[in-house]
Structure 1
Amino acid sequence: MIDRRQLLHSAATCIAWLGTGPVASAKDAAYPSRPVRWIVPYTAGGATDAFSRVICQHLSERLGQTFIVENKPGAGSNIGTLTVINSQPDGYTLLLTSTANAINASFDPTLPYDFAKGIAPIAGLARNPLVLVVNNELPVKSVADFIAYAKANPGKLSIASSGVGTSLHLSGELFKAMAQVQFVHVPYRGSAPGLTDVMAGQVQGMFDNVPSSFELIRTGKLRALGVTTSERSEALPDVPPISDTLAGFETSSFYGVGAPRGTPQAVVDLLNKEINAAFDEPPIKQRFAELGAVPITGSAGRFGEMIAAETARWRKVVELSGQRKE
């Protein structure tokens, strides 16, 4: 016969073992339990890269796993975007979303995906103005000078961008339409190589994001003529808005984070919370200010609403500029 106390002890031990097993497994599987890929659909060295590396370092420190920035440039951000949409919706592949995603919805009729249906918004990161920069040898000192020069030299100016259909490209096309000037558009696979050729004089100018061109302007390697927002940028307080000369002209870029549609809500909520928390840290706030960026905070739902509003706004720019992928 089994002693009653032995039986009770054995049963209690079994229950304790069964109870701790699932808890240990759940803990082991807690997100993130392995490195997370953060896809940037542009070349390294631009604004998207700068924002991503700051936030990925913060997430790595807060969540105890490495968030790896992976650049996948090409096709106006479509290569990187499609990579994420086709990934497992488990939170281990994230997308640096940007204005290009809002633009492509109307600019590219051949788009092989529906961004609104394929990506789950997680959090906003930043909004920043663009700036019109030119080679130092170009004999212009202001937006008015640039317009006059373009009219006096039709077709002789070349303007770089980070790719066809990007906010940099369409800001230039909108400027061209509103100022009634002509220049040749030269697309690059990202902002950095375009800026390099502007400095070298291979092209004469570029509409670029303030974060990626700020240091070049500050050190005198490029000349800034005007910012694309209706108010001056804190990073470039001496550079006037283009709208001071070209009334009604206004564009800007935004950045955020998304994941494949179907990603668990708990993962979305965790990432949203931690990304928002980043902007409570003085060093991160200072870094974004240095890059000329205004942080975007709020819920995943609010970021989704912003993407919808930006998509509608850029549709109007696409229509006005007359640009569309063929």
Structure 2
Amino acid sequence: MTTTSLHRRALLGAACAALALGALPAWAQGGYPNKPIRMIVPYAAGGSTDQLARAIQQSMSETLGQTVIVENKPGAGGTIGTDYVAKAAPDGYTLVFGNTGPNAVVSLMRKVPYDELKDLRPISTVAITPMILAVPADSPAKTLKDFLAYAKKNGNALNVGSVGNGSLSHLTAEYFNEAAGLRMQHIPYNGGAPMMTAFAGGQLQAAFVTGLDGATLVSSGRVRYLAVGTPKATETVPGLQAIADEVPGFRSSAWFGVLAPKDTPDEIVTKLHDAIVTAVARPEVRKMFSARNVEARSSTPQELEKLIRDEMGQWGPVVRKANIQM
């Protein structure tokens, strides 16, 4: 064979290889990741979900060797940003930092343009936090038992706030009303900050909050925590009894975690999962979470999927009984 023929064959082989490479998904070309990763937060900047996403952002960037960009796409109770990711290419470059709302309960109250279990692939939880029963500092109720007696006596004259209609804080309030035999009036607000401002202004007699929402007013002495929604007392919010001590079986907690489009390859999910586990284990991340009454907790993808299914099963009856619609 002549040198010219060998040269032609080499060129042909190179061309075929280039064509084959072009047919491969981006993650297979040179290894994943080879460009920045976008982590969509489906809420406005500065909120609780946004704070937790940004807490793991730097560690994930270091582990993966590529920049992880937190991008806010708020609206419609978190479903706009979540739907954006559900319809994104399954290449590992567009993720959602999800939570209980758009990933487990919103679809119980209205139609959403995606299926939480079919269109998104769970990767790992990042944090779990109990819902906390909070009252104004000047409330006559000093304990959970005091509050139950106070609420039963005053009926629907008491206002219980939430961060929005159909939110987990709303569902928890309705669940508490039903389980404890109360008739408090639900008052929805557009987010945690407006609700906590209403607390400070004396417009609410109670609310169910996360430690992220309540931290500032609790530290300033204007709001008090009474009890937590975990089945038993927890060191995540130390010194408080469980609501279940007085209202048997009561439980309500919020989770936060990362999900990807449904057909994201196993190899990519494994890399992302490992990066999240590393981030959640970092002492500075755990310290930041602990200061906000949040438990840093990673999980397997299967555990997060089970958590979503369990929550849909828990909150469905509450939604139907209270006729909650969005």
Partner of residue 196, structure 2: 195
Q: Are positions 1:139 and 2:144 aligned together?
A: no
CA contact (8 A) 1:37 1:67 kept: yes
SS of the counterpart of 2:59?
helix
Q: State how far apart, in whole Å, the 1-side matches of 2:245 and 2:305 are.
A: 32
Q: Which runs of 5+ in 2 are unaligned?
A: none
TM-superposed CA distance for 1:31, in Å, is 3.1
TM-superposed CA distance for 1:94, in Å, is 1.3
TM-superposed CA distance for 1:224, in Å, is 0.8
Q: State how far apart, in whole Å, the 2-side matches of 1:242 and 1:314 are.
A: 17
Code of the residue aligned with 1:119 in structure 2: it is L
Partner of residue 248, structure 1: 249
SS of the counterpart of 1:163?
coil
TM-superposed CA distance for 1:88, in Å, is 2.6
TM-score, normalised by the number of residues in structure 2 = 0.84
TM-superposed CA distance for 1:119, in Å, is 0.8
Partner of residue 74, structure 2: 73
Partner of residue 324, structure 1: 324
TM-superposed CA distance for 1:174, in Å, is 0.6
Code of the residue aligned with 1:177 in structure 2: it is E
Q: State how far apart, in whole Å, the 1-side matches of 2:262 and 2:42 are.
A: 18
Partner of residue 277, structure 1: 278
Could you give the per-residue CA deviations for residues 263-296 of structure 1, whole angstroms, max 9, x where no partner exists? 2332222101111122332222333333333333
CA contact (8 A) 2:156 2:184 kept: yes
Q: What's the Cα RMSD here? A: 3.1
TM-superposed CA distance for 1:169, in Å, is 0.9
Partner of residue 303, structure 1: 304
Code of the residue aligned with 1:85 in structure 2: it is A
Partner of residue 104, structure 2: 102
Partner of residue 149, structure 1: 150
Q: State how far apart, in whole Å, the 2-side matches of 1:262 and 1:28 are.
A: 18
Partner of residue 228, structure 1: 229
TM-score, normalised by the number of residues in structure 1 = 0.84
SS of the counterpart of 1:325?
coil
Partner of residue 292, structure 1: 293
Code of the residue aligned with 2:322 in structure 1: it is G
Q: Percent same amino acid at aligned positions?
A: 36
Q: State how far apart, in whole Å, the 1-side matches of 2:141 and 2:300 are.
A: 44
Partner of residue 36, structure 1: 37
- Kindly tell me the number of residue pairs found equivalent between the two proteins: 319
Q: Which runs of 5+ in 1 are unaligned?
A: none
TM-superposed CA distance for 1:12, in Å, is 12
CA contact (8 A) 2:132 2:227 kept: yes
Q: State how far apart, in whole Å, the 1-side matches of 2:195 and 2:282 are.
A: 33
